[in-house]
Amino acid sequence: MTYPDSTSIVIDGVTKEFTLRYQRTLKQMSVAFMKGRDISDTFKALDDVSFTVEQGEAIGLMGLNGSGKSTLLKLVQGVMRPDAGQVLTRGRIAGLIATGAGFHPQLTGRENVFLNAAVLGMTEQETKRKFDDIVEFADIGRFLETPVGNYSSGMFARLGFAVAIHVDSDIFLADEALAVGDRPFKKKCIEKMEEVRKSGRTLFYVSHAAGSVRKMCNRVIVLEKGRVGFDGDVNQGIKYLRYEDDNPGHEPDADEREDDELGADI
């Protein structure tokens, strides 16, 4: 099947299974087997998922923990392959789907900027041209010359997001990227992602924060136990999840509204 040039992502009948092992050692497995107990089980993280994304759409990917969101983004990025179905993408993909992904713990922050940028498809010349902007955005100071194995999770997130957001990509993925770090950094990330959205790039944004999804996205896809439960209007998608029904009658104060907008509840 052919798709128009305006199509950015195609998810066609995608299924991904994982195996859970109940025993870790050979002895444990042997004992369990002799007693007739299960030694492993499989589950479908994604089960026959299908949808398409047009170039320039901003998708809010939502759902409860364990619904398959991170697995889906890893398939889109190409770090996993589906067991059934196909995932098609058009153009360069960048983003932060795991804190510190692609970093070598024994290399310095400076060295990891070049390493991570190369993994994301940037040439050395591109990285050199954008290096100062990346470092300024990350704002990790003297720790740039320190091995990243000594970094906190917040510093990992700063440097990883700074590299990813400066890649000239067609598709940008963000999963849990803003869950660590202080409020000013979260705000800076949201503002940068708004620039991505306004530039016409495709945005795939995983979040539990209704306020940030409303601000960033023009479509919501809700996953439920590995299947698409909802695909459509942002406000209807949030209502479908009932995120705002947990505490009826409660009016959030200014700090709560700002935290929600910045994705503090990711």
DSSP helix/strand/coil, 9: strand
**Pairing mode, if any, of strands 7-21 and 84-89?**
antiparallel
253 pLDDT higher than 80? no
From residue 168, alpha-carbon distances to 1, 135, 172, 201, 249 in Å are 28, 17, 9, 9, 44
Amino acid 55 reads Q
**Average pLDDT value over all residues in the chain:** 83
Q: Give yes or no for residue 248 having a pLDDT over 60.
A: no
Q: What is the average pLDDT across 171-178?
A: 76
Measured distance CA(156)–CA(7) in Å, rounded: 33
Which position has the higher pLDDT, 109 or 20? 109
Cα–Cα distance measured from residue 244 to residue 252, given in angstroms and rounded to the nearest whole number: 11
Dig out the tokens for 252 from the structure.
């959030």
Q: Tell me what pLDDT residue 40 has.
A: 56
In the chain, the domains with their CATH numbers are 57-261 (3.40.50.300)
Residue from 160, 250, 266 nearest 213 by CA: 266
DSSP at 242? T
Tokens linked to 234: 């942002």
Indicate if the pLDDT at residue 82 is higher than 60. Answer: yes
- Alpha carbon of 254 to those of 79, 204, 246: distances in Å? 40, 27, 19
Q: Inform me whether the pLDDT recorded for 164 exceeds 80.
A: yes
**Quick one: average pLDDT of 235-240?**
93
Task: Read off the pLDDT of each residue in 239-258 and give the average, rounded to a whole number.
Answer: 55
Instruction: Note the helical H segments in 149-263.
Output: 153-165, 183-198, 210-216, 234-241, 254-261
Vertex 58: Cα angle to 15 and 255 (nearest 5): 110
Report the pLDDT averaged over residues 5-12. 93
Radius of gyration of the chain from its Cα atoms, rounded to whole angstroms: 20
Indicate the pLDDT class of residue 188, thresholds 50, 70 and 90: confident
Quick one: pLDDT at residue 186?
Answer: 80
**Ranges 128-137, 158-167, 200-209, 238-247, most confident:** 128-137
Among 219, 170, 166, 168, CA closest to 192: 166
pLDDT digits (tens, 9 = 90+) for 129-144: 999 999 999 999 899 9
Residue with tokens 């759409």: 57
Average pLDDT over residues 55-79: 91
At residue 254 the predicted structure's pLDDT band, cuts being 50, 70 and 90, is: very low
Read off the pLDDT of each residue in 33-46 and give the average, rounded to a whole number.
Answer: 73
With 50 as the cut, is the pLDDT of residue 22 above it?
yes
Q: Using 50, 70 and 90 to split pLDDT, how confident is the model at 25?
A: low
How many residues can be counted in the chain?
Answer: 266
Token pair 């591109």: residue? 126
Per-residue pLDDT, 250 = 43
Between 19-33, 84-98, 99-113, 120-134, the lowest mean confidence (pLDDT) is in 19-33
